[in-house]
Amino acid sequence: MLKARSSVGRAPARHAGGQGFESPRAYHLVMREAQVLRETRETKIKLYINVDGTGEYKIDTPIGFLTHMLESFAKHGRFDLRVEAQGDVHVSHHHTVEDCGIVLGQAFAEALGSKKGIRRYGDSIVPMDEALVMSAIDFSGRGLFFYEDKNLRGKITDFDFELIWEFFKGFALESKSTLHIRVIEGKILHHVAEACFKSFALTLREAVSFVGGDIPSTKGTL
């Protein structure tokens, strides 16, 4: 894989008032948002996120099912999300799906900064018809992804179901979070994938929620 050129940054501040996250009141003066531009010979992805959003989204990718999943993620996580993705989908969907996960992870890492005052942990169990998915996250500072391979393979329209794991792995590694996803039940791949993204959204929403106080680690750093 080619070395990626990335530009990761806080989006221009829209709110006046210090950089402090000392209290929920002070926190509300600072928008937790980030924008990332990442370009390789395989993909070009531009992403903006506001972690404290309301679920507004504008997603443009060349893969219909990926667009559907990112829209669902933004809506149910109540994250404001804009994505413009281009990729070598004539080769495979693989690079574009994986790189969208990478860029989303970079954006969360940037938006959360020192992680002072966040809940740090989140979890959820989400049903979608016959599918049932559990996920848990820890913004541990260590990028790790675990899932149980239940041998679910196949196409959702033209989308290879198993690419969702590449997306989540890219996110976990780049956001430096420990992410577990377990498919408890599920037969229809569309339902399983969508339950994964919805559970991921709810889990993240909980983990990034602001509870105040210091950096949530006895080490003093995450």
Chain residues in the site for Mn ion (CB under 5 A): 194
Min CB(61)–Mn ion separation in Å: 15
CB of 187 to Mn ion, least distance (A): 15
Q: Which is nearer to Mn ion, 194 or 206 (CB)?
A: 194
Letter for the amino acid at 6? Answer: S
183 with 199: CB under 8 angstroms?
no
Residue number, nearest CB to Mn ion: 194
- Identity of the residue, 166 or 194, whose beta carbon is nearer to Mn ion in the bound complex: 194
CA distance 131 to 146: 19
The first and second tokens of residue 180, run together, are 């577990």
* Cβ proximity to Mn ion, 73 vs 108, nearer residue: 73
Residue 187, CB-side half-sphere exposure with 13 Å CA sphere = 2
Taking the complex as a whole, the smallest distance from the CB of residue 77 to Mn ion amounts, in Å, to 16
The CB-of-72 to Mn ion minimum distance in angstroms stands at: 7
* CA atoms of 102 and 51, how far apart (whole Å): 16
State in angstroms the smallest separation of the CB of 68 from Mn ion: 6
* Comparison of 184 and 188: residue with beta carbon closer to Mn ion: 188
Helix axes 189-207, 64-77, angle to 10 degrees: 40
Beta strand 57-60 with 43-50 is unpaired
Which helix (H) or strand (E) element contains residue 68?
helix 64-77
